[in-house]
Amino acid sequence: MNTGTARRYYIELRGSSNYKYFGAAKNLKGVRELLFKENEDKKQLNIKKKKDARNFEKVINIHYFGYCDEANEHLLQQEVKIQKKLEKMDLKILKKYKH
């Protein structure tokens, strides 16, 4: 039996050091409770991930990506100042290399 086929016949608990439960052993009281707890933990983690994704969508919107920056006068003024400053610096560098 290859490893891919064997995995269908047993359950391995996360965090256990290679304990594998085959056949009826999967239905033993303590094992079943551990498996149920592990499944509940996975469900809770998935619920938390979904909540985080929804919160992310609330925070990240078109303003985050700057699609509405043209409406912000202060930002546009600052952008023009910086652009002029960079153009002056570029001219100085070009003059240096021409001579």
pLDDT digits (tens, 9 = 90+) for 11-61: 666 655 566 666 666 666 776 777 677 778 888 888 888 888 888 877 787
Q: Which conformational region is residue 92 in: left (phi greater than 0), alpha (psi within -120 to 50 degrees), or beta? A: alpha
Q: In the structure encoding, which two tokens stand for residue 15, read together?
A: 């965090």
Listed by start position, the domains of the chain span: 69-99
| pTM, two decimal places | 0.32
Three-class DSSP category at 21: strand
The rounded distance, in Å, linking the Cα atoms of 84 and 81 is 5
More confident site: 5 or 47: 47
Continuous segment of H or E residues that includes residue 10: strand 10-12
Q: Is residue 87 scored above 90 in pLDDT?
A: yes
Summarize pLDDT for 70-82 with one digit per residue, the tens: 778 888 899 999 9
> Of 20, 17, 11, whose CA–CA distance to 39 is shortest?
11
Which amino acid makes up residue 84? K
Q: What is the predicted pLDDT for the residue at 9?
A: 66
